[in-house]
């Protein structure tokens, strides 16, 4: 028997000598492939460890608090990035309506380093208006959402949930 045949011995059925690849049982004659049981155990353990690792990765991604970022630090390389910004509202929100329904809401904020437009579309915009959660000029807001940096470098932040907008009315005096 040559060296190549001994390496591939596990890939062939010991009973009918047909190629079965990594299968534990021969699909042709239902014979056991006679692989060491440690290989089966290692396969199961590696699968369990992969799912445990994915679980920890999910927990880390969903429970991590985003740091508040300065608007002037936003670059085109951050397009579609999840970000949190805080600043004062510069103008009363504009409510865009289409056929009598709220289509979008938009308002600019300034944190002292730059200005950013916050936009909410569809159901989020409707929820903000229905729940009367629209900020007014001078309110201090903390907003978490996805950045949309256009080709000319003007960023805007898409609000994707009503709970991601926090308004502090008392900040006007600060």
101-110 vs 94-98, strand pairing mode: antiparallel
Amino acid 9: pLDDT: 57
Question: Can you tell me the distance from the alpha carbon of 160 to that of 127, in angstroms, rounded to the nearest whole number?
Answer: 11
First to last CA, the chain: 85
pTM: 0.67
| Dist. CA 143–CA 12, nearest whole Å | 61
Domains and their CATH numbers in the chain: 3-63 (no CATH), 71-173 (2.40.50.140)
DSSP state of 132: T
pLDDT in tens, 119-154: 999 999 999 999 999 999 999 999 999 999 988 878
Exposed, middle or buried, 160 (CB in 10 Å: 0-12/13-18/19+)?
Answer: middle
The mean per-residue pLDDT over the stretch 44-54 comes to 96
pLDDT at 174 over 80: no
| pLDDT value at 5 more than 70 | no
Whether the pLDDT of residue 8 is over 80: the answer is no
Please state, in angstroms and rounded to a whole number, the distance separating the CA atoms of residues 90 and 110: 7
């Amino acid at each position: 028997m040559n060296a190549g045949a001994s390496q591939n011995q596990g890939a062939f059925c010991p009973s009918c000598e047909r190629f079965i690849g990594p299968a534990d049982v021969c699909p042709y004659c239902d014979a056991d492939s006679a692989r060491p049981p440690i290989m089966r155990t290692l396969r199961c353990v590696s699968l369990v460890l992969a799912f445990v690792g994915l679980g920890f990765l999910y927990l880390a991604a969903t429970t991590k608090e985003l740091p508040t970022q300065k608007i002037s630090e936003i670059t085109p390389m951050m397009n579609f990035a999840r970000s949190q910004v805080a600043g004062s509202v510069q103008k009363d929100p504009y409510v865009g309506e289409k056929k009598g329904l709220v289509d979008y809401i938009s308002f600019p904020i300034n944190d002292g380093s730059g200005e950013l437009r916050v936009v909410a579309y569809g159901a989020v915009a409707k929820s903000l208006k229905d729940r009367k959660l629209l900020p007014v000029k001078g309110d201090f807001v903390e907003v978490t959402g996805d950045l949309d940096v256009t080709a000319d470098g003007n960023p805007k932040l898409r609000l994707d949930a009503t709970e991601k907008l926090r308004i502090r009315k008392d900040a006007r005096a600060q």
